[in-house]
Amino acid sequence: MTYKQAQTRFGIQGKTTVLVWLRKHGKLDWSKPFQHPLMPHSKETPAETIKRLERELAEAKLRNQILNGMVDIMDNEYGAGLRKKYLSGISGKPKPKAK
């Protein structure tokens, strides 16, 4: 397809736009579908995917329990105060302005 054919087919008014696009993408092989390199095609069945995700969830929960236990030990034995302190009353009634 020439740039003139592309202009008439797609209603593009300027030839520079088509020429820039052809210079950039014109030499690519469009016969094969593009697959993004960061997203490999998975041949897992849905059941296998569910099992894998359940296994990862169980590992994450165990890791969370271990880390919470470590923080509790640090707080109890060393008084580290690693837990986030939630301030109460921040979103309470606004104080009246003094004049």
pLDDT tens digit sequence for 75-92:
888 887 777 776 766 665
As a whole number of angstroms, the longest Cα–Cα distance in the chain is 78
Quick check: is 34 in a domain? Answer: no
Quick check: is 56 in a domain? Answer: yes
- Packing angle of the helix pair 3-10, 15-25 (nearest 10 deg): 120
Number of domains into which the chain is organized: 1
Quick check: is 40 in a domain? Answer: no
Task: Say if residue 55's pLDDT is above 70.
Answer: yes
Give the structural domain span for 17. Answer: 3-25+46-78
pTM attached to this predicted model: 0.43
For residue 68, name the pLDDT band (cuts at 50, 70, 90). very high
